[in-house]
Amino acid sequence: MKKDFLLIKILTKIRGVFKNTSVNFEDLITILSLKLTLDDRKSSAMGMAKKQKLTGMKSNLLMQGFFGLFIGLVMLVPFDLFYKISIITAMDLFFMVMFMISDFSSVLLDTRDKDIILTKPVSLETMNVARLIHVIYYMISLFLALNAISICILTYQYGVKILLGFVIMLVLLSLFIVFVTTILYSILLEQFSGEKLKDIINAFQIMLSVVTIISYQLVGRIFEFVDFEMVIHIRWWTYLLPPAWYASLFKVLVEGDFTRAYVIMAILSVLVPIISGSALIKWILPKYESYLSKLQIEDGVFIPKNSLKERLKQSLYNIVARDHKERAFMKFADANLSRDRKLKLMILPNQALGYVFPLIMILPFISRSNGIQGLLTELNGSLLYMNAYWAIVMFTSNFEFMQYSEKFEASFIYDSFPIEDKRVIFIGAIKAYYIKYMLPGMIFINVLFLFLCGMSSLVGLLIIDVMSFFLLLLRYKMTHLELPFSKEVSSSGNKNPAPVFGLMGLCALVAGAQFLFVKNNVLMGLLVLIVMVIMTQLAYVSLFKRPEKIKQN
């Protein structure tokens, strides 16, 4: 462990702060350097094949910096300062809270600390303060990454005075976020136990990643939505919005605008972090450890259900897989896909993108027309449904995630069980993946485009449906994939970009061909459909059913 972290150096300079508290400064430094060392190593443990230069945290900061660039561009638009700061704060709040829940839940909810550190002569206060400082340190880094560019632009526009505003905002906002998240966790921990809670946190993480990923897609279009002539109306609910508090703080501090509403909200921006902070220290922190111990109680119960959904799934499985081994691996893959939290966190946000992408692509066509009726008549018979290929690109490229698992070591069973042909594991996984993730997506897309483009798109959509399975098979063949659930979940969770571009190119080709030669011609469409079904069948058989070629030495 090294000790030359910037944070440690700063803390050593201000050690006087801790003099008259129950916090032991040496322990604090020891624990913090441990935590920072652990953070540094987090992802290098994963990058066995290719050494990553950036650890998870640093690449995260880079991403946020990129987003900060866009916020900075918005700052160039001559809005009122109130709006500018509201936009900044809203973004900061969102990203920082998301960061707290997704990346830092492992820090806030680390039960190892209790077993290792609390059994040593270290007081509970010291450990909790170390935790808080650790979190706040990353909040500040994140704040700077997000706002550096905006700060530069605003300083140019409003003068150096605004820097003071940002310093105050940084302190208050970080405190506010840490306190609010910790209190939120404590409430959740008090209400729910063990597995249930982990599911809730998981759902939170997924939800927030979905929102970020989608907002990354929307960021380029932000100027299309922005109404440039905004007048500030402060209504009663404005007082409930934290971004408005901080914007008011700037109005008061920087522009010297002492309108009553601004003053009240500026006071709120200071008061709320202080109140929530004292509530945290007084009521929550003392109980936090006992809340955490709940996390270790495992209480997931999965009694086989005989519901309609289960029976439907069962009969569907029986139809698509005759071989009992194949069916076993389908059920196995399905159970893993629904329970493995880390895997879900990787798959679901990317999956959501599959639903959203076609919508984003048809957005420009929709905004032009007026009224739903007019829209439908205008779109009827159009080839807009070709945008469904966007969804297929997303869905099929997500198949890559099947390789990962939280408990990847358990894949020893593939070797210890009598499985002659390992392809059966893949085909089980492919079919389970299709039914669980792609089928609902394809149904959604079919319904959507049938509604928008009318019945004439039916044959075209059927071709696309067949193509979705065909392309999934191609994705499997495209690059070498490890056996399902046999790779460690990596912290960055990024896909290998090469197959994504490959699939995109393929889809563009296929969609282009369909666009040029098939259009809405029913006869031609049916012909292509039949050819595609046969081709898919052939691909399926040659990939999985034909005996494996014996490799020559």
Q: Give the integer Cα–Cα distance in Å for 232 and 228.
A: 12
Q: What is the DSSP letter of 412?
A: G
Residue 37 binds other proteins (CB under 8 A): yes
| 90: nearest Cα among 250, 209, 242, 225 | 242
Q: Which stretch binds other proteins (CB under 8 A): 115-123, 196-204, 454-462, 527-535?
A: 115-123
Nearest to 420 by CA among 326, 537, 333: 326
Q: According to the binding rule CB under 8 A, does residue 26 interact with other proteins?
A: yes
Tokens of 361: 């692509």
Binding residue for other proteins, selected from 91, 117, 430, 511, defined by CB under 8 A: 117
Q: Which helix (H) or strand (E) holds 43?
A: none
Rounded least distance, CB 408 to other proteins, Å: 13
CA pair distance 51, 47, nearest whole angstrom = 5
Question: Could you give the CA distance from residue 294 to residue 282 in angstroms, rounded to a whole number?
Answer: 21
**Pairwise CA distance, residues 545 & 236, whole Å:** 67
Q: Which residues pair with 404 in a beta bridge?
A: 487
Q: Let me know: does 262 contact 80? Beta carbons within 8 Å.
A: no
Is there binding between residue 27 and other proteins (CB under 8 A)?
yes
Nearest CB to other proteins, comparing residues 32 and 175: 32
Quote the least distance from Cβ 362 to other proteins, whole Å.
47
Each residue 386-425 as x (binds other proteins by CB under 8 A) or -, in order, gives ----------------------------------------
Among 13, 78, 119, 523, binds other proteins (CB under 8 A): 119
Residue 115 sits in the site that holds other proteins (CB under 8 A): yes
Return the residue of 123, 259, 314, 542 that touches other proteins, per CB under 8 A. 123
What DSSP character marks residue 409?
G
Other CB atoms closer than 10 Å to residue 79's CB: what's the count?
17
Does 53 contact other proteins by CB under 8 A? no
Give me Rg for the CA atoms of the chain.
Answer: 27
Minimum CB–partner distance for residue 167 and other proteins (Å): 34
Q: And the tokens for 377? A: 């008549």
Give the number of residues in contact with other proteins, rule: CB under 8 A.
Answer: 28
Interaction of residue 45 with other proteins, rule CB under 8 A: yes
Q: Is 34 in the site for other proteins (CB under 8 A)?
A: yes
Alpha helix ranges (H) inside 369-496: 372-379, 388-397, 413-416, 423-433, 439-453, 458-478
Q: Is position 42 an interface residue for other proteins (rule: CB under 8 A)? A: yes
Residue of 50, 51, 53, 120 that binds other proteins (CB under 8 A): 120
- Tell me if 124 contacts other proteins by CB under 8 A: yes
At residue 366, the 3 state secondary structure works out as: helix
Give 292 or 438: the residue with its C-beta nearer to other proteins.
Answer: 292
| Residue 303 C-alpha from the chain's centroid | 30
> Nearest-CA neighbor of 264 among 300, 238, 228?
238
Which one of the spans 119-127, 135-143, 316-324, 493-501 is the region binding other proteins (CB under 8 A)? Answer: 119-127
Q: Does 293 bind other proteins (CB under 8 A)?
A: yes
Among 12, 21, 106, 111, binds other proteins (CB under 8 A): 111
> Are residues 246 and 383 in contact, defined by beta-carbon separation less than 8 angstroms?
no
Minimum Å distance from CB 440 to other proteins?
A: 37
| CB closer to other proteins, 34 vs 376 | 34
- Alpha carbons 191 and 189: distance in angstroms, whole number: 6
Indicate whether 542 belongs to the interface with other proteins (CB under 8 A): no
With binding defined as CB under 8 A, does residue 191 bind other proteins?
no
Q: Which is nearer to other proteins, 135 or 347 (CB)?
A: 135
Contact 332, 324 (CB under 8 A): no
| Least distance to other proteins, CB of residue 115, Å | 4
| Encoded tokens for 213 | 């990923």
509 near other proteins, judged by CB under 8 A = no
Residues of the shown chain interacting with other proteins in the complex, contacts defined by CB under 8 A: 1, 26-27, 30-31, 34, 37-38, 41-42, 45, 111-112, 114-124, 289-290, 293, 297
